[in-house]
Amino acid sequence: MRLIGHAQRAIAASPARVWERLVDVAGWKTWMPGVRWAVLERGLGAGGYVTIRPQRGRQTAYHVLVADAPRTFALGLTFGPVAGVCCTWTLMPDGFTTLVTQTLEMGGPLGGWLAAGTAERMLAEAPDLLEALAAALA
Res. 110 pLDDT band, cuts 50 70 90: confident
CATH of the domain at 91: 3.30.530.20
pLDDT at residue 70 greater than cutoff 90 = yes
pLDDT number for residue 31: 94
Neighbours of 102 (CB within 10 A): 22
Distances (CA, A) of 46 to 14, 37, 74, 75: 26, 22, 12, 12
Give the residue numbers spanning the domain of 15: 2-137
Q: Cα separation of 20 and 1, whole Å?
A: 27
- Calculate mean pLDDT across residues 45-72: 94
pLDDT of residue 57: 86
Query: Distance (Å, rounded) from C-alpha 97 to C-alpha 17?
Result: 11
Count of domains observed in the chain: 1
Q: What is the pTM of this model?
A: 0.91
Q: For residues 24 and 111, which has the higher predicted lDDT (pLDDT)?
A: 24
CA distances from 117 to 17, 23, 45, 89 (A): 32, 25, 28, 20
